[in-house]
């Protein structure tokens, strides 16, 4: 059960905080929301809220249904479709690499860089707010996020 989707349209400013729901509810259950048509997931893990684009940067998989795992000291969400690992805090894609020139063949975790757009979460008076990231650089997950915006505008 991924909770309901909250539809929020905040036309004045794309980057102002948008109330997603009550802190006590969001702590119990992951929530997806559409802010200006952009699908995000808000989740609570180990005392902290996180928000990121809901569609996985790889092929648009539903990250709100992913398991959370600690990988090499970083909390990651594992995409249910092809098991890509994405850090909750920064949206980096992690992969295991082997250096063929090294004698040891133990794979090491490496980062592909930021692949999934993360958004800012704040809590005020028991309400949880998300501010969409306004980072201008394009991030891989934008492709699927923008697809969802276009399809919701056609409705």
Q: What is the binding site for ligand FES (CB under 6 A)?
A: 56, 58-61, 79, 81-82, 84
148 membership: H or E segment, kind and range: helix 142-154
Q: What letter would DSSP give residue 62?
A: B
**Residue 48 or 82 with smaller CB distance to ligand FES:** 82
C-beta of 140: minimal distance to ligand FES in Å?
11
67 membership: H or E segment, kind and range: strand 67-71
Report residue 155 CA to chain centroid gap: 24
C-beta of 41: minimal distance to ligand FES in Å?
13
**Residue 56 or 130 with smaller CB distance to ligand FES:** 56
C-beta of 116: minimal distance to ligand FES in Å?
10
C-beta of 154: minimal distance to ligand FES in Å?
23
**Residue 32 or 128 with smaller CB distance to ligand FES:** 32
Q: Which residues are registered as beta bridge partners of 71?
A: 74
Q: Are 40 and 52 in contact (CB under 8 A)?
A: yes
Distance CA 130, CA 138 (A): 20
| Beta strands 5-8; 31-35: pairing state | parallel
**Residue 59 or 123 with smaller CB distance to ligand FES:** 59
Q: Are 93 and 81 in contact (CB under 8 A)?
A: no
C-beta of 77: minimal distance to ligand FES in Å?
10
**Residue 55 or 119 with smaller CB distance to ligand FES:** 55
């Amino acid at each position: 059960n991924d909770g309901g989707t909250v539809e929020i349209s905040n036309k004045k400013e794309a980057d102002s905080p948008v109330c997603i729901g009550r802190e006590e509810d969001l702590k119990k259950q992951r929530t997806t929301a559409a802010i200006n048509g952009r699908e995000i997931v808000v989740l609570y893990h180990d005392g902290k809220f996180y928000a990121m684009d809901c569609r996985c940067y790889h092929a648009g998989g539903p990250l709100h249904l992913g398991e959370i795992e600690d990988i090499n000291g970083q909390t990651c969400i594992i995409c249910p479709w092809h098991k890509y690992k994405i850090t909750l805090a920064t949206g980096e894609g992690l992969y295991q690499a082997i250096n063929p020139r090294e004698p040891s063949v133990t794979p090491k975790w490496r980062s592909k860089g930021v692949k999934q757009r993360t958004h800012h979460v704040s809590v005020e008076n028991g309400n949880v707010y998300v501010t969409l990231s306004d980072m201008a650089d394009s991030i891989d997950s934008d492709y699927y996020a923008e697809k969802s915006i276009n399809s919701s505008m056609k409705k």
